[in-house]
Amino acid sequence: MPIEGDEVLGFSDLVDGRLLDMLYVDPAAGRRGIATALLDRVLGLSRAAGAEAIETDASITARPFFERHGFVVVTQQTPTVRGVEMTNFKMRRLLD
């Protein structure tokens, strides 16, 4: 978890060694490589857990970031949260 002073700049969560459940960076700390550093750490943990691939459900705005880092869209999804339909993408990356 990147920290600057007393402020958390971002965080991520890996579930069962193969599902990147969350990756968040404070917008004020954007464009500093924090998301990439968090993703690199998660990929390392996933490899250490013996996973052959990692998946995530990426938002429309997060999709380009994940594509730049080797993820491909498996399917487009339209979940409904509190009565509001959203679009996201099940994405997957093979681990080497």
Tens digits of residue pLDDT in 56-78 = 999 999 999 999 999 999 999 99
Q: What are the residue ranges spanned by the domains of the chain? A: 3-94
Domain 3-94 - what CATH class? Answer: alpha beta
Per-residue pLDDT, 9: 94
Cβ atoms within 10 Å, residue 63: 18
Burial category of 39 from C-beta neighbours within 10 Å (exposed 0-12, middle 13-18, buried 19 and up): buried
- Residue by residue, DSSP assigns 17-65 as TTEEEEEEE-GGG-SSSHHHHHHHHHHHHHHHTT-SEEEEEEETTTHHH
Cβ atoms within 10 Å, residue 37: 15
C-alpha–C-alpha distance, residues 47 and 77, integer Å? 26
Tens digits of residue pLDDT in 32-58 = 999 999 999 999 999 999 999 999 999
